[in-house]
């Protein structure tokens, strides 16, 4: 187990690098399994549609409820780990993840499915800030691996692996709507026990007070904040639609009912989002956001091509390109906020940034559901792709205008 303070070192000697221990592993695993539970329903939606008799529009509403639940949780409980500690917040998050798995396990109608998604969204809201802060405190600044890197791969790795794991289990298991939740629920309980057995990493705790976190857009970097939020939000919109309707696209247009293939598409999208965030370390600030916008435009074109031709390859490439572009825009936005916003408003600014992203994750998916209900999947997807490309182009033109002005 890691110590909370570095050991004494001789004067002038370099600080000794600490290696990750059981506490770090437990927190990273809890982060990973909680986020995995949030994307696990993706390959199962077609099965739920058959079992419960609902339409593609209902699928997008179910997904949208999850994302809006995350937003509500972030704004209501974003400071909970600062108030009561990292460990109890992480235990609560993983327990809620296990509860969501149990609700999915016994789902018999759409109302119960919606309840499961709300609980899942709340678990994601609780775990994100608590796990990131705990990893920062447990690993420390002198470790071989940066805390932010561990948090990134636990977060995005969970989002990517949850859908792939559920898809594989749904294809191989005799009860595809039960086995994934038994496995994921068991892993969530294991994660809860792991963090409960660890120690508290937060030194100061303010005590619990329920207070809604007001939104805050930093005035001194408002233009950069909004451009990054709109670019990353466009990418999140694509991630949301891919998560909600990939199974429908593969099953109805490509006649590929494999749940593992559905999981693979979403896995590629989220895995590339993680890689895109790492690219921020090598891309110059002047290049990052324009490159992200161009990538989003290209990804929208590829996804529209996949819909028009009913060809899988453009969908896979589009998911990868969108993930990379989204990751770059997300990383650029967070870097701008943390480096240039006032310290006293930094937490509120980050919460506002993610509230915008999760809203963009939910609302366009529901809009696509409305379009599918009014027409069909192909025109709905093509219209959505055009809107995403237009939004990314607008951000790109705004960047060019700002540079000409300077």
DSSP per residue over 146-186, as a string?
Answer: -HHHHHHHHHHHHHHHHHHHHHHHHHHSSSTTTHHHHHHHH
Smallest CA-to-CA distance from 47 within 169, 160, 184, 187 is with 169
Is CATH 1.20.1250.20 correct for 18-201? yes
CATH 1.20.1250.20 domain locations along the chain: 18-201, 214-406
Dihedral angle of Cα 322, 323, 325, 328, to the nearest 10 degrees: 170
CATH architecture of the domain with range 214-406: Up-down Bundle (1.20)
Collapsing DSSP to helix, strand or coil, 13 comes out as coil
Measure CA 159 to chain center: 6
Residue 142 to residue 145: CA distance in whole angstroms: 8
Our separate counts of H helices and E strands in the chain read: 14, 0
Supply the pTM of this predicted model.
0.86
> What is the residue-level pLDDT of the chain in tens, covering all 406 positions?
333 333 333 434 344 444 558 889 999 999 999 999 999 999 999 999 899 988 888 988 998 889 888 888 888 887 788 788 889 999 999 999 999 999 999 998 999 999 999 999 999 999 988 888 888 888 877 778 788 889 889 999 999 999 999 999 999 988 999 999 999 999 999 999 999 998 877 666 666 666 776 777 877 788 888 999 999 999 999 999 999 889 989 988 888 889 999 999 999 999 999 999 999 889 988 899 999 999 999 999 999 999 999 999 999 999 999 999 999 999 998 888 877 777 666 667 877 888 898 889 888 999 999 999 898 889 999 999 999 999 999 999 999 988 887 6
Smallest CA-to-CA distance from 221 within 388, 357, 74, 334 is with 334
């Amino acid at each position: 187990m890691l110590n909370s303070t570095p050991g004494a070192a001789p004067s002038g000697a370099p600080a000794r690098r600490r290696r990750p221990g059981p506490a770090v592993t437990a927190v990273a695993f809890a982060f990973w399994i909680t986020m995995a539970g949030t994307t696990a329903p993706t390959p199962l939606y077609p099965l739920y549609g058959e079992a419960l008799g609902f339409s593609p529009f209902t699928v997008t509403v179910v997904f949208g409820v999850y994302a809006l639940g995350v937003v509500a949780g972030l704004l209501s409980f974003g400071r909970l780990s600062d108030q009561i500690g990292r460990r109890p917040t992480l235990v609560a998050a993983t327990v809620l993840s296990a509860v969501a798995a149990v609700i999915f396990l016994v789902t018999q109608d759409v109302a119960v499915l919606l309840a499961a998604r709300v609980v899942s969204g709340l678990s994601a809201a609780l775990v994100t800030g608590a796990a990131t802060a705990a990893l920062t405190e447990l690993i420390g600044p002198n470790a071989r691996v940066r805390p932010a890197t561990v948090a990134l791969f636990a977060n995005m790795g969970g989002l990517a692996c949850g859908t792939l794991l559920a898809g594989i289990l749904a294809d191989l298991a005799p009860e595809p709507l039960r086995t994934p939740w038994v496995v994921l629920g068991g892993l969530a309980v294991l994660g809860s026990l792991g963090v409960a057995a660890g120690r508290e990493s937060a030194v100061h705790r303010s005590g619990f007070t329920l207070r809604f976190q007001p939104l805050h857009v930093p005035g001194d970097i408002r233009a950069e904040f909004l451009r990054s939020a709109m670019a990353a939000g466009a990418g999140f919109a694509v991630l949301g639609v891919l998560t909600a309707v990939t199974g429908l696209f593969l099953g109805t247009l490509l006649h590929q009912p494999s749940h593992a293939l559905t999981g693979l598409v979403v896995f590629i999208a989220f895995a590339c989002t993680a890689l895109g965030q790492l690219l921020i370390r090598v891309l110059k600030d002047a290049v990052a956001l324009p490159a992200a916008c161009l990538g989003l435009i290209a990804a929208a074109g590829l996804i529209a091509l996949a819909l028009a031709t009913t060809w899988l390859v453009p969908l896979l490439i589009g998911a990868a390109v969108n993930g990379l572009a989204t990751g770059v825009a997300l990383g650029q936005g967070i870097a701008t906020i943390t480096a240039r916003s006032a310290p006293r408003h930094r937490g509120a600014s980050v919460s506002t940034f993610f509230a915008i992203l999760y809203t963009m994750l939910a609302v366009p998916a529901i809009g696509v559901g409305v379009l599918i209900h009014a027409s069909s999947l192909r025109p709905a997807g093509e219209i959505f792709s055009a809107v995403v490309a237009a939004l990314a182009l607008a951000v790109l033109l705004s960047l060019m205008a700002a540079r000409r002005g300077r």
